[in-house]
Structure 1
Amino acid sequence: MPKTMRAVRLTGPVAPQELTVTEVPLPAVTAGQVRIRVRAFGINESEVTSRKGESGPDFSFPRILGIEAVGVVDAVGDGVNLVPGQKVATMMGGLGRTIDGSYAEYTVVDAANTIPFETDLGWDIVGALPEMLQTAHGSLTAGLHLQAGQQVLIHGGTSSVGLAAIAIANQLGASVIATTRNAARADLLHHVGAAHVVTDDDTLPGAVRAIATEGLDAVLEFVSAAALPDMLTLARSGGVVCFVGALSSEWTIPDFSPFTIPNGVHLTSYAGEAADLSADALSRYVGAIEADTMRIIISDTYTGLDQVAAAHQDFDATHRVGKRVVVIPGR
């Protein structure tokens, strides 16, 4: 093995074009750890925030960014039940925040944060999946306990996680109402599994009530904490509203009163972990993608670590729907 590897390692906040590749020491594995030969990873909003130096107290420089990866096992520490060459996905567990992440040829993670899988899908497709599927699956199952036959509103349907949540809710047998601020994207939302699409403007509450006449069983909130009071009014008694993220960066509700929550409606949140996406669940979703019964939207694919800068520039400058994926060619 070489003693060094190529990586995008930051020592402080930078502009997108300053994301350059350098040589860094190859990380060693210890007991309970896995070294992964990274083959692909997605670009995520939290990495953009970290690159700007605006992440919370759990992030510090110097750091190799990247909160998710797919690749093959390269080396394992004692007590790890994985073998070199096995395909794995990883996400969370401090990756790219408290420990060095996936913008590199190799990354070392705790074995508990790896999910083995088998597929003939290309790295450009599976590279989009780990964080997106984990958040969508976890919020729908652990956050909402969504059941077949229920009606769920996905507020923020054209975000990458929103699109994945629509697809997974559809797989679970639920009926999905998805929102978008751009009515021209309705066909895309129907394509991934939405039964109904409503425009996210002042007409949204009335449009949802016209569809869910008895009230919604469930709501996933991806847009703003400030939207929660309106979302709560759309749920039936016994329904659940789950706050997952804030695309608008509004993470709190000003002057919040618990009496904002209607009688019988449940308000919760989801900020789960890698274990919420089991190997069986990942296998089901990968199989559905292979069979084209579940559709994942990828907006752009980039080849090589040298293209990370371009991926971040595009993330900042364009508004194409779908996940951006960086693929690292094999040797």
Structure 2
Amino acid sequence: MDSTMRAVVLDGPGGLDALTLRQLPIPRPEPGWALIRVKAFGLNRSELHTRLGLADGVTFPRVPGIEATGIVVDCPGGELAEGRQVAAMMGGMGRTYDGGYAEYTCVPVGQVLEFRSALDWAVLGAVPEMLQTAYGSLHVGLDAQPGQSILIRGGSSSIGMATAVLAHQMGMTVISTTRNSAKIATLQEAGVDHVLIDDGLIAHQVRELVPEGVDAALELVGTPTLPDTLRSIRFHGVACFTGMLSNQWIVPEFYPIDYLPRGVPLAAYSGDAADLPADVLQSFLDAVAAGRMTIPIHHVYRMDEIREAHAVMEEGTASGKLVVLP
């Protein structure tokens, strides 16, 4: 094995030019950690927040990336066998220690899930964080049940589309929003029953479809649309705040009695690798391989195109996941 690797490095917050491609020493794992040869990694808004200086707890210089898929190269503690296919995510990746934007990454074994799949690495690279967040939002944040109705605010994001796929499989009635009418067909292919064009105020459109309000709502845009999302929910329904595509996640001068509709609970979800059971990941990948599930991928890039990929993520023009192959 070579002694160096290519990696994307951030010396500090900045624009697209802050993302620099360099040669770094390949890290060496200590007991309790695993060295993974990265075959693909997905892009996430978390990494955009890191680049823009909006993320807490990040130290620089840093290799960003809160997820990666690849093959185990070394695991001194023996928890993971060499050569196994794995997905790594969260737990400080790309924030407090170097993450997945590299040819190799070294992570705690507790952040790693094993799987077996013959799917292309570009497809596998789209899955870990997207599936973990969608699954966790549905089952931890919303406690969603088959046959319920759900509003996905920010539905054309990768997490929004993955949530639609899972909710459709559960037999839920799925309502998703997008600001771009060109994305309607893509959302419908993901299993969305009703697509709403989001002008910032869509609660009245939701209640035209479901007069009493939806059973559950997933907020992926952020605090600018949250009050309107809350007004879309039935009495004793639930909202889950998971994402902030708007880069706004703080409600100034929050007064709960005035802000929250009567009888509508507001939950939040911020998950970890432990929130995605290994058997759920394996079942999802098996279903994709069998053609029963679809992974929404917008585009696949090479690592030297990382600035272009980040530009698309920042513009918010993607319909589905952005994936990078080292």
Alpha-carbon distance in 1 for matches of 2:238, 2:315: 35
Q: Give the equivalent residue in structure 2 for 1:175.
A: 173
Question: What is the CA-CA distance between 1:203 and the residue it aligns to?
Answer: 5.8
Give per-residue Cα distances to partners, 1:17-65, cap 9 Å, x unaligned: 453322212211111111100000012222223223x133311111111
> Does structure 2 conserve the Cα–Cα contact (< 8 Å) formed by 1:101 and 1:107?
yes
The alignment partner of 2:310 has SS state of helix
TM-score by length of 1: 0.92
List runs of 5+ in structure 1 lacking aligned partners.
none
Q: Tell me if the contact between 1:11 and 1:62 (Cα under 8 Å) persists in the aligned partners.
A: yes
Whole-angstrom CA distance in 2 between matches of 1:127 and 1:162? 17
2:11 equivalent in structure 1? 11
- Out of 304, 316, 319, the position equivalent to 2:317 is 319
Q: CA deviation at 1:317?
A: 5.4
Match 2:216 to one of 203, 215, 218? 218
CA RMSD of aligned residues (A): 1.8
Once the two structures are superposed, the pairs formed by residues 1-331 of structure 1 within 5 Å of their partners are 1-17=1-17, 19-52=19-52, 54-78=53-77, 80-201=78-199, 204-259=202-257, 260-303=259-302, 305-316=303-314, 319-328=317-326
Pair 14,253 (structure 1): closer, same or farther in 2 beyond 3 Å: closer
Q: Aligned letter for 2:40?
A: A
Distance, in Å, in 1 between the alignment partners of 2:191 and 2:233 is: 21
8 A contact 2:157–2:320 mirrored in 1:
yes
Contact 2:224 2:246 in 1 (8 A): no
Cα distance in 2 for residues equivalent to 1:314 and 1:250:
19
* Structure 2, unaligned runs of 5 or more: none
CA contact 2:11–2:18 (8 Å) conserved in 1: no
Quote the Cα distance in structure 1 between the aligned partners of 2:169 and 2:275.
17
1:35–1:74: 8 Å Cα contact kept in structure 2? yes
| C-alpha distance in 2 between matches for 1:255 and 1:90 | 37
Superposition TM-score, scaled by structure 2 size: 0.94
Distance 2:68 2:143 in 1: 27
Taking structure 1 as reference, are residues 300 and 84 closer, same or farther at Cα in structure 2, changes over 3 Å only? same
Partner secondary structure for residue 8 of structure 1: strand
Q: Secondary structure at the match of 2:318?
A: coil
User: Contact (CA 8 Å) 1:71, 1:88: kept in 2 or not?
Assistant: yes
Contact 1:46 1:55 in 2 (8 A): no
Contact 2:177 2:198 in 1 (8 A): yes
CA–CA separation in structure 1 for the residues paired with 2:62 and 2:269: 26
Q: Distance in 1 between matches of 2:7 and 2:196?
A: 42
Contact 1:124–1:327 (8 Å) recurs in 2:
yes
**How many angstroms does 1:309 deviate by?**
3.0
Render the CA deviation track for 1:134-156: whole Å, top value 9, x for unaligned. 11111111000111011110011
Q: Which amino acid is the alignment partner of residue 283 of structure 1?
A: Q
Distance 1:195 1:318 in 2: 23
Amino acid at match of 2:60: F
Q: Does the Cα contact within 8 Å between 1:20 and 1:306 map onto a contact in 2? A: no
